[in-house]
Amino acid sequence: MDSQKKIITITGYKGGVGKSTTAVHLATFFSELGKTVLVDGDQNRTALAWSKRGSFPFPAVDERQALKVIADAQFVVIDTPARPDSDDLKELEAV
Ligand SMILES: Nc1ncnc2c1ncn2[C@@H]1O[C@H](COP(=O)(O)OP(=O)(O)OP(=O)(O)O)[C@@H](O)[C@H]1O
Ligand SMILES: [Mg+2]
């Protein structure tokens, strides 16, 4: 597998449609392929709360801690809040 970092961002306009659930499942899948970090970029911190309840096979951090831990990750899965505005979407696309 090539060593370039892959960043997968989960976004969607509606709330409660499974973004965080999808992010956790994707991070679980990718963690079997290489070092994976889940970045919880939603202020409601759903994914972080779930990670504290159980034992995910990957670290979960908020966006403030992300830079410290994603350097050597091969896969970075980013969970995002509902109702992104057009600026948010442009920024997500630009990364
Ligand atoms: N594929 C699915 N089938 C059934 N229930 C699901 C599925 N995916 C998620 N859920 C349930 O739907 C609810 C909302 O899921 P989740 O928190 O992942 O959505 P979200 O889009 O991240 O919400 P928010 O916009 O509030 O961040 C949760 O109770 C979750 O367990
Ligand atoms: Mg969510």
Q: Where are the domains of the chain?
A: 6-89
Whether domain 6-89 has CATH 3.40.50.300: the reply is: yes
Residue type, 53: R
Report the alpha-carbon distance of residue 77 to residue 95 in Å, rounded.
13
The whole model's pTM is what? 0.93
Which ligand 1 atom lies nearest to the CA of residue 79?
22
CA of 22 relative to ligand 1 center, distance in Å: 8
Query: In the sheet that 36-40 helps form, which strands lie side by side, from edge to edge?
Result: 6-10, 75-79, 36-40, 60-62
Cα 3 → chain centroid: 19
pLDDT for 95: 60
In the predicted model, what is the mean pLDDT of residues 41-46? 96
The runs of H, that is alpha helices, within 32-65 are 46-53
Q: Is the CB of 15 under 6 A from ligand 1?
A: yes
7: CA distance to ligand 1 center in Å? 21
Indicate if ligand 1 lies below 6 Å from the C-beta of 13: no
Tokens read off for 35? 């070092």
Q: What is the pLDDT of residue 2?
A: 61
